[in-house]
Structure 1
Amino acid sequence: MVRILSVDVIRGLLSLSELFPVVEAAFVKQGRGEVERPPRPHFPVGIDVDSVRNGINESNPASESETDSPLGTALTMPAYIHGRDVYATKLAAVHPGNVAQCLPTVNAQVVLTDATTGLPLSLLDGTTITSARTGCIGGLAAEYLASDPIRLGVFGAGTQARWQTRAIAAACDIESVRVYSPSDSREECAADLRDEGIHAEAVESPEKAVSGSNVVVTATTSDDPVFAGELLESGTLVVAVGAYTAEMQELDARTFERAARVFADVPEEVADIGDIQASGLSESDLVPLSDVFEGDAGREADDEILVVESVGSAVLDAATAQYLYEKAKERNVGEDVGL
């Protein structure tokens, strides 16, 4: 039997305060090399439906490669944490155009498998798992590398921007939150956060989001820097979670020039994203975020600008999925089905 954990079940089980130590412990295991985390392939999927509607493909099939464009990116992310009796595989998809259809940009499923027999144990809503564990990266980074009270500037108004804010609020004392997005979605995002008891307001420019903030989060799918690094105030922590390909870039070179250190959840993969490539840095310049949790790295002066870059790790998905599966068994929730 396989236990199905739907989005509603997972949201009923999930506690960010419980998840923080789960994610932190997974980072430590990853930093020590006590995990199996194969390279994650990512590839374009879907075609431009507008070109199909206009009959471009039908009238000139040979032009397909020139006119069609991918609608999204698919990713496969397996991981095993040494000593655990389960492992996980996440199937994820990122479709930026979903925003226009009021659909989530990121969708995912996680399969949890018995590591001793290879039998499937659970199918979980991976979208919430991805959002929550990525949010925990921002929450833990703020806890370890920023000073209370937090004055938070958020770039992006989608699902991940909200989870980053929730997690930082769960980990730290937040004084204010300013949300910027070039679309009107910033107003809805700020209103939703206020409904959750977080004092948030929408602002109309990048300058207003950065000004006065001691933590700046970027959670976008942008191909161009979302703010000027010169705007950052001394002592600011920047948490960038949006870019994951060489074409995507949220931070400009000036941000990295001013940064005392750049931390990365997966240095070898972060080195390949647009942020780092445009900065002139390399993998050797990146400090594993796990070093922070081991006490080997961190903030050394109050006025330092620090950057945390995240592309996501399947190790965190595996740890989060196991936490949720075990809690579901304890509470006897979810639906058991046969395959």
Structure 2
Amino acid sequence: MKWSMTYILSHDMVTNMIHQIGLKTVYRQLVRQMKLDYMHWHDFHHQSRISAESPNGVIELMPIHNQQHYAFKYVNGHPSNPSRQLPSVCAFGCLSDMDSGIPVLIADMTLLTAIRTAACAAMVYDCIRYPQDTIDIAIIGTGAQSEFQITAMHEMHPIGTCYYYDIDDHAMQKFSDNLSEYPFNLQAINGVADIPSACDVIITATSCLTPSALAIKQSNRRKIIIAIGGDAPNKQELNRTLIENSTVIVEYLAQTKREGEIKSANPKQIITLHELVQSKQTLSNDLIVFDSVGFAIEDYSTLVMCQGWFESLPPHEFFGVLDDPKNLFSQIIQGTP
């Protein structure tokens, strides 16, 4: 029996490689790959993810393919899991060769999902930002993804002050401790109402199931709200009035209409992310929402990036290939060599 060669990337392998490369470099590599793939949007076959919902959360399968590769990611979103000492999100993904159907890469994507979500948000801001030396940013929700959101944004554009809030004091302390060595100011606030009017970017990273009263204080420059995640059934972070007064950027409209903030409101303008990256649309106002539920092309980009990291390493023997591929039963008669 011969064996097909498949790269199998464990959590430790992925983490060690990120340490070797450096998180800053990973963000830039991934933004570059995502931009390339969004530029070639029409080369991909798109579909909404397949979801299975329960009272505690959701399990999703996110497939996509082009002529070269088929990719998918399995991911869950269960916000109450930390109370059971379980991660709220865990994920794995696969990249396969379309010509043969053989997987070329299988990877733990729990950490990579947080990195790609943050890199995508930073990419969006990079496409629409005003030129300025530093930005002020606020994040509502300092859970597992929060530090990635802030550090990715800082890598693409330096942060002056980061305002942060969570209903969980422990999560706020964790956030502050993890980012204490970064060269920007950290300012805890007591709630949404304390977000300064001059804040350039507001990130909502909560599991809120009812629209929050996110009051936007007017300013004389563009304001961008990044609402991340489709990580719970019926999730809704932004109120209807805010959405209706915004230009909303979506990844894949059919999926976002079902899962995103726009499911309950009609924005002034909707722009798809591939149109934004390709500069095919003009933003019609200065209040912008990135309705970031996550889409499979971003996981494809992540897996392609990982393939580049590990292609110099010996792959694993994973899928058996028989000398006579039609005689599968021979393994039962003869045993597996």
Distance 1:4 1:158 in 2: 28
Q: How does 1:47-62 map to 2 (within 5 A)?
A: none
Does residue 21 (structure 1) correspond to residue 32 (structure 2)? The answer is: yes
Higher helix share: 1
**Are the aligned partners of 2:78 and 2:232 in contact in 1 as well (CA < 8 Å)?**
no
Give me the TM-score of the superposition, normalised by structure 1. 0.82
Q: Residue in 1 aligned with 2:287?
A: 305
**Are the aligned partners of 1:246 and 1:274 in contact in 2 as well (CA < 8 Å)?**
no
Q: Residue in 1 aligned with 2:118?
A: 135
Amino acid at match of 1:25: L
- Compared CA separation, residues 39 and 243, structure 1 to 2 (3 A): closer
Q: Which stretch of structure 1 is more off in the superposition, 219-228 or 316-325?
A: 219-228
Q: Which runs of 5+ in 1 are unaligned?
A: 46-69
Amino acid at match of 2:290: V
Q: How does 1:99-110 map to 2 (within 5 A)?
A: 99-110=82-93
Distance 1:181 1:210 in 2: 16
- 1:137-156 deviation digits (Å, cap 9, x = unpaired): 21012212223321000111
Q: Which stretch of structure 1 is more off in the superposition, 219-228 or 240-249?
A: 240-249
**Are the aligned partners of 1:36 and 1:80 in contact in 2 as well (CA < 8 Å)?**
yes
Distance 1:120 1:252 in 2: 43
Match of 1:189 among 157, 171, 175: 175
**Are the aligned partners of 1:110 and 1:123 in contact in 2 as well (CA < 8 Å)?**
yes
Which runs of at least 4 in structure 1 moved beyond 4 Å after TM superposition? 298-301
1:105 Cα deviation (Å)? 1.5
User: Per the alignment, in what secondary structure is the counterpart of residue 231 of structure 1?
Assistant: coil
**Are the aligned partners of 1:146 and 1:236 in contact in 2 as well (CA < 8 Å)?**
no
Does residue 248 (structure 1) correspond to residue 235 (structure 2)? The answer is: yes
Q: Which stretch of structure 1 is more off in the superposition, 11-20 or 104-113?
A: 11-20
User: Per the alignment, in what secondary structure is the counterpart of residue 72 of structure 2?
Assistant: strand
Q: Which runs of 5+ in 2 are unaligned?
A: 19-25, 320-337
Does residue 318 (structure 1) correspond to residue 304 (structure 2)? The answer is: no
**Are the aligned partners of 1:251 and 1:275 in contact in 2 as well (CA < 8 Å)?**
yes
Q: Residue in 2 aligned with 1:90?
A: 73
Q: Residue in 1 aligned with 2:190?
A: 204
Give me the TM-score of the superposition, normalised by structure 2. 0.82
Match of 1:269 among 255, 264, 268: 255
1:196 Cα deviation (Å)? 4.6
- 1:174-194 deviation digits (Å, cap 9, x = unpaired): 111111111111221122122
1:298 Cα deviation (Å)? 4.5
- Compared CA separation, residues 232 and 76, structure 1 to 2 (3 A): farther
Does residue 287 (structure 1) correspond to residue 268 (structure 2)? The answer is: no
User: Per the alignment, in what secondary structure is the counterpart of residue 159 of structure 1?
Assistant: coil
Q: Residue in 1 aligned with 2:47?
A: 38
1:273 Cα deviation (Å)? 3.1
Amino acid at match of 2:46: R
- Compared CA separation, residues 231 and 173, structure 1 to 2 (3 A): same
1:312 Cα deviation (Å)? 1.0
Give the alignment's Cα RMSD to 1 decimal: 2.3
- 1:71-115 deviation digits (Å, cap 9, x = unpaired): 331101111134x3x321111111111232454321100012122
1:168 Cα deviation (Å)? 0.5
Q: Residue in 2 aligned with 1:64?
A: none
**Are the aligned partners of 2:260 and 2:291 in contact in 1 as well (CA < 8 Å)?**
no
Q: Residue in 1 aligned with 2:316?
A: 336
Larger radius of gyration between Structure 1 and Structure 2: 2
Aligned residues: 304
User: Per the alignment, in what secondary structure is the counterpart of residue 297 of structure 1?
Assistant: coil
Identity of aligned residues (%): 21
Does residue 213 (structure 1) correspond to residue 193 (structure 2)? The answer is: no
